[in-house]
Amino acid sequence: TNSNTDPPSTHTTTTKLPPGVVLGKDGKPCRSCSSKASFTAWAQQAKSSLRSSAGSATGFTAAAMAAAASTSSSSAQPSANDCPADVETLGRSTWTLLHSIAATYPKAPSPAEQSDLKTFMGLFSKLYPCWVCAEDFQAYMAKEKIRVGSRDDFGLWLCQAHNAVNTKLGKDTFDCSKWEERWRTGWKD
Ligand code: FAD
């Protein structure tokens, strides 16, 4: 890993994380598991801790300064929006990719295409950068076997999987009879 951009490798027990910051399995704040607001609050906290204590007493390493600086809206940044993905940006982009794969999946896929999609989704569920999301999605896939027999099978399975996440997050569910309109044909006038 690059110590210039990684979040701090150590925390003292006296450093309280802002609400909503999810730790990675390595014990560091996980950006792709946390909202932008939470992660930015943590970065600002880390930065002010460093300023007030010159770094050592807080337990944050020099890497914290670099990580915190990298999330600030300093004018040295090319754009305040050019940041690593938080849990929502990552999620939105990922759902776009997955539903778009469903939209272009064949109506009558060959055995090889079905096998490719199953393999892709299995690996995807293991590699998804937000580990808490990934573990829940793996559990969902273990319970609700993926359906890859046709475009409609996969599109509906994916819509239901997305709805399970919506429900977990307290969001409205999507009407799955409209998944193709949303992701393939466009809305009817
Ligand atoms: P999104 O949920 O990202 O949806 C994008 C668009 O898809 C919506 O605007 C809507 O038009 C359409 N849509 C919504 N529901 C459906 C559906 N059922 N079928 C088809 N289209 C639909 N975030 C967490 O905080 N915790 C988690 O555990 C978590 N797990 C995730 C697991 C996976 C596999 C993925 C891909 C993302 C996960 N996320 C998680 C991110 C979360 O699902 C959202 O992407 C994020 O909160 C942003 O939500 P949003 O409201 O912008 O819309």
| 121 in contact with ligand 1, CB cutoff 6 A | no
**C-beta of 36 in contact with ligand 1 (< 6 A):** no
Give the up-direction half-sphere exposure of residue 72: CA atoms within 13 A in the CB hemisphere: 14
Q: Is the CB of 182 under 6 A from ligand 1?
A: yes
Q: For 130-167, what is each residue's pLDDT tens digit? A: 999 999 999 999 999 999 999 999 999 999 999 999 99
Ligand 1 contact, 136 CB (< 6 A):
yes
**DSSP character string of 17-53:** PPTTPPB-TTSSB-GGGS-HHHHHHHHHHHHHHHHHH
ipTM score of complex? 0.99
DSSP annotation of 178 reads G
> Distance from the CA of 162 to the center of ligand 1, in angstroms?
6
Alpha helix segments (H runs only) across the chain = 36-53, 62-71, 87-104, 111-127, 131-143, 151-168, 179-180
Percent of the chain with pLDDT over 70: 79
Q: Give the predicted TM-score (pTM) of the model.
A: 0.82
Average pLDDT over residues 88-115: 98
Question: Which domains are delineated in the chain?
Answer: 1-84 (no CATH), 87-185 (1.20.120.310)
User: In terms of pLDDT, which residue wins out, 56 or 5?
Assistant: 56
Neighbours of 90 (CB within 10 A): 18
Does ligand 1 come within 6 angstroms of the Cβ of 99?
yes
Predicted confidence at residue 161, as pLDDT, reads: 98
**How much distance in Å is there from the Cα of 92 to the middle of ligand 1?**
6
- The answer, yes or no, to whether any atom of ligand 1 lies below 6 A from the CB of 161, is no
The pLDDT of residue 120 is above 50: yes
pLDDT single digits (tens) 12-35 = 335 788 999 999 988 989 999 999
CB atoms < 10 A from the CB of 42, how many? 25
Q: How far apart are CA 41 and CA 52, in angstroms?
A: 16
Q: What are φ and ψ of residue 23, in 5° steps?
A: -85, 145
Whole-number Å distance between alpha carbons of 47 and 56: 12
Element housing 3 (H / E) = none
- Smallest CA separation from ligand 1 atom 42, residue: 91
Q: Is there an atom of ligand 1 within 6 Å of 159 CB?
A: yes
